[in-house]
């Protein structure tokens, strides 16, 4: 199993551009999550999903959108990139509600 | 509100010395507590959880409900323990959503 994969690994965006961070898991997990990690801070939950077709906001959802059309995929969309969205983004999944399996992260810089 | 506090951003110890990474939490309900670890150039992974009461890589953590703490301990630190450690909480009124602490970077010196 590849586990949780994320693409791209790195990206530089200009202010106002849009992009989609991809996340795929091959463990048939129902729960999926997107976090951002800012320097010196813990992980902040952006959005989560409890199954295909079901998503909900986390702690810091503004400026982001998600969709969950399949069990495997949970893409995160940035519509109008802002410098405040410069961060490392982690996708995670879990079968039950507790132990989470993380992807390698995407380092995003908005200038 | 549920919160996880890791008071130390950096902890530096010598190889063979005991190590304790502190974690305090606030919650509503019955939380589950975890320690996650991120080694250099590796992804974040679960180290241990309080319900399993196990020792992983020599690390243990005891849930102290009276002090609302879940400190991570190891009697003899090894250089390969150098990593970023995150305390996390889920359950309670937050349900399955997990709250992470800011993390403590452990540096074990030779």
Q: Does B41 touch chain A (CB under 8 A)?
A: no
For A39, name the nearest residue in chain B, comparing CA atoms only: B102
Q: What is the pLDDT of residues B35-61, one digit of tens each?
A: 999 998 889 999 998 877 788 899 999
Which residues numbered 21-50 in A keep a CB inside 8 Å of some CB on B? Answer: 31, 33, 35, 40-43, 45, 48, 50
Residue A96 tokens, joined: 């039950």
Structure tokens at A3: 């586990």
Coil, strand or helix: which one is B50?
helix
CB contact under 8 Å between B46 and A48, yes or no, is: no
What's the distance, CA A29 to chain centroid? Answer: 15
Residues of A in contact with B9 (CB under 8 A): 40
pLDDT given at position B81: 97
The beta-carbon neighbor of A48 closest among B9, B97, B99 is: B97
Report the pLDDT value the prediction gives residue B2, as an integer from 0 to 100: 81
Out of A19-23, A93-97, B10-14, least confident range: A93-97
Q: Could you tell me the pLDDT band of residue B98, with boundaries at 50, 70 and 90?
A: confident
B31 touches chain A (CB under 8 A): no
Structure tokens at B52: 């399993």
Residue B32, φ and ψ in degrees, nearest 5: -105, 135
Alpha-carbon distance of B14 to A86, in angstroms, equals 35
């Amino acid at each position: 199993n590849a586990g949780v994969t994320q693409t791209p690994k790195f990206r530089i965006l200009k202010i106002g551009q849009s992009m989609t961070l991809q996340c795929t898991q091959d463990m048939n997990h129902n729960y999926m999550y997107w976090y951002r990690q800012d320097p010196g801070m813990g992980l902040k939950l952006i959005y989560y999903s409890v199954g295909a077709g079901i998503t909900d906001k986390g702690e810091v959802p503004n400026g982001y959108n998600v969709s969950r059309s399949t069990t495997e995929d949970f893409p995160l969309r940035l519509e109008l990139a802002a410098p405040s969205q410069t961060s490392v983004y982690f996708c995670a999944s879990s079968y039950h509600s507790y132990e989470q399996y993380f992807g390698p992260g995407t380092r995003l810089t908005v200038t | 509100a549920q919160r996880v506090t890791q008071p130390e951003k950096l902890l530096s110890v010598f190889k063979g010395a005991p190590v304790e990474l502190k974690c305090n939490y606030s919650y509503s309900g019955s939380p589950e507590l975890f320690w996650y670890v991120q080694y250099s150039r590796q992804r974040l992974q679960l180290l241990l959880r309080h319900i399993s009461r196990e020792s992983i890589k020599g690390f243990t953590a005891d849930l102290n409900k009276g002090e609302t703490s879940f400190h991570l301990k190891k009697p003899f630190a090894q250089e390969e323990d150098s990593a970023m450690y995150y305390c996390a909480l889920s359950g309670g009124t937050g349900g399955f959503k997990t709250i992470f602490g800011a993390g403590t970077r452990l540096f074990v010196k030779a």
